[in-house]
């Protein structure tokens, strides 16, 4: 009876410890990532229940602008956008474009040099494997059978000639039996 | 000795052969009316010309239009650019021009033509082309 009570207390204590850890630790992590999620770019926690920004060639106008939380300066620029666009300088127009879009079409279309890295890595590992295989050939494999020595092969060839192996089109056909040499 | 039934059968065959020389104009195509190019264009011009078009409708219209297998006519784009002006959205206007250039693919002569046609509107509304802003290059 006493043992089971002690056991229960230990269990409850450990569970409370875990719960405390969970609420303290996870709560801190979740609030900070909620704060980060106000940016629409490069977040670990992405809210998939609301429209997201995307760079796509076939969807030129994304669902939400790239930068959602505007600084005071950016808000002023947005106000200026409501007036005539002929008043905007090139830099301002570019700034407005970059507020709404992360990548331009040219930037979306550009490739990268990653394939060179990938190919290089593949070759490096293939080369390393080759070295391992070479080491294995030299240090792990035993001797080759005696029947592959030149003397043994000569005896074997002579036997094949004597047996007239493939005499019509093949092996023995190529041996000149009068002159005792290969044709 | 050919039986009467066989004769009757042959007779029906020869009669049926005459029916195969019916006019070739009757084909098995769909009976739906095909929309002409002008109807398509005017439909889209009307869509973007709605005075109280909201931002969602502009985005939806533009994304749908870019999804089609064609480059939109300058008059449709003019209507869309004016809609951007009503919504105070310069970035979308520039994006539309970029999308048109991308849509023309290997046909490099389409985009300069479109810009040439849209030039009065671009000047009037103060929309810079992507080339003027330098975003057509990396």
**Contact between A60 and B96 using a beta-carbon 8 Å cutoff:** yes
- pLDDT above 60 for A178: yes
> Are residues A53 and A41 in contact, defined by beta-carbon separation less than 8 angstroms?
yes
Q: What is the DSSP string of B68-89?
A: SSSPPPHHHHHHHHHHHHHTT-
Q: Which residues in A8-41 are b (16+ Cβ under 10 Å) and which e? A: eeeeeeeeeeeeeeeeeeeeeeeeeeeeeeeebe
**Contact between A85 and B90 using a beta-carbon 8 Å cutoff:** yes
Ranges under pLDDT 70 in chain B: 1-25
> Using one digit for the tens of pLDDT, what is the confidence trace for A133-164?
999 999 999 999 999 999 999 999 999 999 99
> Using one digit for the tens of pLDDT, what is the confidence trace for B11-31?
555 554 544 555 556 788 888
> Using one digit for the tens of pLDDT, what is the confidence trace for A58-101?
999 999 999 999 999 999 999 999 999 999 999 999 999 999 99
- pLDDT above 90 for A129: yes
Please identify among residues 30-59 of chain B the ones whose CB lies closer than 8 Å to any CB of chain A. Answer: 58-59
User: Does ipTM top 0.90?
Assistant: no
**Contact between A60 and B95 using a beta-carbon 8 Å cutoff:** yes
């Amino acid at each position: 009876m006493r043992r089971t009570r002690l056991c229960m207390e230990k269990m409850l204590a450990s569970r409370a410890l875990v719960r405390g850890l969970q609420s303290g630790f996870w709560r801190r992590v979740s609030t900070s990532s909620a704060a980060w999620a106000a940016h629409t770019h490069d977040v670990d926690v992405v809210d998939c229940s609301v429209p997201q920004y995307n760079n796509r060639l076939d969807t030129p106008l994304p669902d939400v602008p790239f930068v959602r939380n505007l600084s005071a300066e950016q808000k002023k620029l947005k106000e200026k956008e409501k007036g005539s666009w002929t008043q905007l300088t090139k830099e301002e127009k570019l700034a407005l474009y970059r507020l709404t879009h992360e990548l331009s079409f040219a930037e979306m279309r550009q490739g990268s040099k990653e394939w060179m890295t990938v190919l290089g890595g593949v070759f490096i590992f293939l080369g390393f494997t080759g070295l391992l295989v070479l080491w294995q050939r030299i240090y792990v494999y035993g001797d080759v059978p005696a029947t592959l020595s030149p003397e043994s092969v000569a005896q074997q060839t002579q036997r094949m000639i004597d047996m007239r192996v493939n005499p019509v089109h093949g092996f023995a056909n190529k041996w000149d039996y009068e002159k005792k040499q290969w044709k | 000795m050919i039986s009467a039934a066989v004769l009757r059968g042959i007779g029906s065959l020869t009669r049926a052969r005459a029916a195969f020389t019916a006019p070739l104009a009757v084909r098995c195509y769909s009976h739906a009316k095909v929309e002409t190019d002008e109807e398509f264009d005017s439909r889209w011009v009307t869509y973007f010309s709605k005075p109280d078009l909201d931002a969602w409708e502009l985005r939806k219209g533009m994304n749908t239009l870019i999804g089609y297998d064609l480059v939109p006519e300058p008059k449709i784009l003019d209507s869309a650019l004016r809609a951007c002006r009503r919504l105070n959205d310069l970035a979308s206007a520039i994006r539309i021009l970029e999308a048109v250039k991308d849509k023309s693919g290997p046909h490099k002569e389409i985009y300069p033509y479109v810009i040439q046609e849209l030039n009065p509107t671009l000047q009037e509304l103060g929309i810079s082309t992507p080339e003027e802003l330098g975003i057509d290059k990396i």
